[in-house]
A and B are shown apart, each in its own frame.
Chain A
Amino acid sequence: MSKARLMQGNEACAEGALAAGVRFFGGYPITPSTEIAEGMAKMLPKVGGKFVQMEDEIASMGVVLGASLAGKKALTASSGPGISLKQELIGYAAAAEIPVVIVNVQRVGPSTGQPTAPSQGDVMQARWGTHGDHPMIALSPWSVREAFDTAVMAVNYSERFRTPVILLMDEIVGHLREKVELPEADEIEIYPRRQPGCTPAEGYRPYAPAEDLVPNIADFGNGYHIHVTGLIHDETGFPVGSPKVTREAIDRLHTKIEIARDEITHVEEYCMEDAEYAVVAFGGTARTAYEAVLAARQKGIKVGMVRLITIWPFADQAISDLAARVKGILVTELNYGQIVNEVERAAAGQCPVELCAKYDMTIFEPEEILEAVESLVAGGNK
């Protein structure tokens, strides 16, 4: 019997989170992300988990952090305006090193924008939305099946690095319905909650880094009597007003992600074997870009596509290598131009980088991208 199901991206995201062990969801309704909350409200109690609809986006973020500290893998989901409200506590999660996954199903902004047309305008918000220096991991799926897979990956990374992870979906993928076959439970690798390596009597320090620079912080209720704060703290978890401790704390937050960068920066290539030009795309836009690449190939243009699955940390190495071997890069994104700046930075002048941007509520037509590819190949702007 086929296990294929017709499923929406948002539903697959909820299924993926559940499969990865999420047992707590706190949220607030906002289109186009609401189906994730609705799915969790239905599915979580079936597995003994809990769903709570909070009074606002800020509370939704607070409640999932509390649940995570008490030992439950936790998820929240929203869209741009709601993610703006969550930023304070996303930074708290980064500083206090609390595992949590935040889904952003992007819509057109700024502000209330164009509810709820598709956009990819929150790329930089995902990276820099909260105040202060902090690392960020963000993943962006391009299909319903990948919404499931990246949800699993996001939960695993949040647990492994004890850091907030943003699943940067877009309305295209969130509301897309596709036939999918989801993996069996035994095919899914799950990163378990990290556990303390020693007891309080043995000198346990909750924020002392393990070998991978990530601390093994005890869950509440296990007799460790830990203190968790958003203030800069030392290995004991207590605030310290010292320049040395401050510098080291901020260094470690970044370094714990940086040393795993190659491993967590996922990029996929299409038609790149003999490519002289490349389209860089991510999320729902990559679907159209791929169509355009196939159409260009029909016309004899040697173009391929590089798709960013991991948005943050940025795929510096992959893009630098790409820029060294092609004659030009076209970046397609559904915004005024955000990730293009990162591509330009990583390409570092090795080849021209052009932008194909769209920010008018509508998704790309393959022809628009094809035209931009032809223009790049012709060696000039339109």
Chain B
Amino acid sequence: MERSFEQYFRQNRLPHLWCPGCGNGIATKAIVQAIESKGLERDKTVIVSGIGCSSRASGYMDFDTLHTAHGRAIPFATGIKLANPELNVIVITGDGDCTAIGGNHFIHGCRRNVDLTVVLFNNNIYGMTGGQASPMTPTGKKATTAPYGAVDPVFDACRLAEAAGATYVARSTAYHVQHLTSMIADGLDNKGFSFIEAMVQCPTAYGRKNKMSDPVQLMMWMRDNAVMKAAWDKLPEDKKQGDRFPIGLLYQEAGVDYATAYDHVIDLAGGAAK
């Protein structure tokens, strides 16, 4: 069996701290396989993460890696990319990190179309702190801070990214692992803000509270409810209800990335030769 992805991990930092059955490992592997498939130069690739279960991934990956503060991965990544545009900058974030405490940075990262590839590990919960409701905990589902079920409507991070100006938006799941890898790989190709929502199972904090403590059960839910975009678009509205959600490339458009746009500013100011 081909295990070339192992070279991208810091073997001396493993095993990881994620719970048995967690989907974060699958999503992390999908990222390094996407990197491998696109042949990104490892010395010129930086992994940036926020805080939370998702964001511990950076420490296991053998690149220059940056574990920032809660919600702040995108501003740090923006600084890295603008300071040295030849670097490939990949952000790993979570549903709480990206859409709650980092929500404003997410919106404006999309708007600026900075050439970043942002992978959101959506486990529907704050896992690291023990299972509190996030903006992506489905309404009605339980969490330690939503003992009677979450009251808040959920964020659809993909629609948010599209509306805010991201030029590549895709979704996949830990069940559809090859599809997830190709969605991330295509995101790496896009010269602009690429956003990939990777749905991952959290049996410990989310599943246990919601009668789905078996990781297989959670992955079967992904299998049964994910609908490929092309098929989704043909569904009548009444079939798009309930737990069903689209996966695949959801949105793409051409746009000038921020560093390229700023090069024009440098030209105008006469600083190009410096």
Contact = CB atoms under 8 A, between A and B. Distances in A.
Interface stretch (B73-81, B180-188, B191-199): B73-81
Interface string A52-72: 101110111111111111111
A24 interface: yes
Contacts of B87: 70, 220-221
Contacts of B258: 52
A52 B82 contact: yes
Nearest to A218: B64
Contacts of A24: 79, 82-83
B83 A224 contact: no
Interface string B64-95: 11111100101111111111101100000000
B63 interface: yes
B86 A221 contact: yes
Contacts of A71: 83-84
B75 A228 contact: no
B83 A67 contact: yes
Contacts of A59: 72, 74-75, 78, 104-105, 108
A47 interface: yes
B83 A70 contact: yes
Nearest to B114: A52
A234 to B, nearest CB: 13
B46 A220 contact: yes
Contacts of A142: none
A62 B83 contact: no
Contacts of B74: 59, 62
Contacts of A145: none
Given A56-B104, A227-B58, A47 B43 contact: no
A66 B80 contact: yes
A89 B101 CA distance: 14
A45 interface: yes
B71 to A, nearest CB: 8
Which secondary structure dominates chain B's binding surface? helix
Contacts of A74: 79, 83
Contacts of B262: 45, 50, 52
A185 B193 CA distance: 39
A70 B72 contact: no
A225 B83 contact: no
Contacts of A42: 269
B79 A26 contact: yes
Nearest to A24: B83
A94 to B, nearest CB: 12
Interface in A29-62: 42, 44-50, 52, 54-56, 58-62
A63 B259 CA distance: 14
Interface in B220-274: 258, 262, 265-266, 268-274
A56 B270 CA distance: 29
B62 interface: yes
Given A47-B274, A225-B63, A220 B13 contact: no
Nearest to A220: B64
B136 to A, nearest CB: 21
Nearest to B106: A55
Given A47-B274, A54-B108, A66 B269 contact: no
Given A48-B272, A221-B46, A67 B80 contact: yes
Given A45-B266, A50-B262, A66-B80, A224 B68 contact: no
Given A26-B79, A62-B79, A66-B76, A227 B84 contact: no
Nearest to A72: B83
Contact of A230 (B48, B58, B67, B79): B67
Interface residues of B, number: 45
B59 interface: yes
Contacts of A65: 68, 76, 79
A92 interface: yes
A221 B44 contact: yes
A45 B265 contact: yes
A64 B64 CA distance: 17
Contact of B83 (A66, A89, A229): A66
Contact of B13 (A54, A224, A238): A238
Given A45-B269, A220-B46, A55 B105 contact: yes
Contact of B271 (A47, A221, A226): A47
Contacts of A58: 72, 75, 105
A185 to B, nearest CB: 14
A227 B59 contact: yes
B219 interface: no
A226 B75 CA distance: 19
B45 to A, nearest CB: 9
Contact of A55 (B79, B107, B273): B107
Interface in A195-254: 220-231, 238-239
A316 interface: no
B78 A63 contact: yes
Contacts of A92: 68-69
Contacts of A48: 266, 271-274
Interface in B23-69: 42-44, 46, 48, 58-59, 62-69
A230 B46 contact: no
A228 B77 CA distance: 13
B257 to A, nearest CB: 13
Contact of A62 (B43, B46, B72, B270): B72
12 contacts: A24-B83, A50-B83, A55-B107, A58-B72, A58-B105, A59-B75, A59-B104, A62-B69, A66-B76, A71-B83, A92-B68, A220-B84
- 3 smallest A-B Cβ distances: which pairs? A66-B79, A62-B75, A48-B274
Given A46-B269, A59-B75, 11 more contacts: A45-B266, A49-B271, A50-B82, A50-B266, A56-B104, A59-B72, A61-B75, A62-B75, A62-B79, A225-B64, A238-B59
